[in-house]
A = this chain, B = another copy of it.
C-alpha cells in the first residue's frame, strides 16, 4: 500500500492511511495546549509573589513537559503506530508529522533515541520545573538549565543526523518548513533564552556569595 512520505522507496508494509485531517490534529493539539497554558497562568496568579516572568516560565514548562510525555512518549513506546487498524490521536499525530520527517515512521534509531530521552527524562523534569519555580526551590535554575541543555542537545542530534543521512525526509518544501523547521524551532529558541537566563542567575548567585564572604 502506498504512503505519503519521502523518500518514495521507503518500505512501510501494513501502513494504514491517515484518518484525521491536518487541521483536526492541529486544532486539538493547539487548543489543548492553550487550555494548559491559560490554566497554569491563572493558577500561578493566585500563588502570590510570583513575577510575570516566573509565571510565563511555568506555562512553558507545563506545556513542554506535557508535550514530551503525552505526545512524544506514545511515539517512543508504540513502534507499530503507523500500521494500527484503529489508530488513536497520538498515532495520527506521528503519521502526520512524518510528512515532515519520515525517520519517525521509519523508526530511525537516532530519532527514537532523542525522543526517548526527551519523553522519559526531560518530560518529568519539565513538570518538576513548574513545581520548583512555584515553590522557589534552590534547584530551580539548575533544573531549568539542565532541561534546556537536554532539549538543545536533542535538537542538535536531530538536525545533524538528518543532514548526514541525506536530508531528504520531507514530502514537500511545505512540510520541510512547517514541520521539520517550524514545529521544532520553539525548542531551539525558547531553551536558548531560558538557558542564558539561568546561566546568568547562577553566576549572579556565586558573585553574591563572593561579595558576602569578603
Q: Is A39 positioned at the interface, with any CB of B under 8 Å from its CB?
A: no
- Interface size grouping (class) on chain A: 35 or more
A149 to B151 Cα, complex, angstroms: 11
Q: Is A77 positioned at the interface, with any CB of B under 8 Å from its CB?
A: no
Please classify the interface of chain A as helix (H, G, I), strand (E, B), loop, or mixed, using the class held by over half of its residues.
Answer: helix
Per-residue interface assignment for chain A, residues 125 to 164, with 1 indicating a CB less than 8 Å from any chain B CB and 0 otherwise: 0000000000000111110011001100110110011001
Q: Is A49 positioned at the interface, with any CB of B under 8 Å from its CB?
A: no
User: Which residues of chain B are near A154, meaning CB under 8 Å?
Assistant: 153
The answer to whether B205 touches A113 (Cβ under 8 A) is no
Shortest distance between the CB of A138 and any CB in chain B (Å)? 4
Determine the residue in chain B with the shortest Cβ distance to A202: B142
Per-residue interface assignment for chain A, residues 160 to 199, with 1 indicating a CB less than 8 Å from any chain B CB and 0 otherwise: 1100110000000000000000000000000000000001
A138-B207, A156-B117, A209-B209 are contacts. A112–B149 as well, Cβ < 8 Å?
no
Q: What would 12 A/B residue contacts be, using CB atoms closer than 8 Å?
A: A112-B164, A113-B156, A113-B157, A116-B160, A117-B160, A138-B206, A138-B210, A139-B203, A142-B142, A149-B150, A149-B153, A205-B209
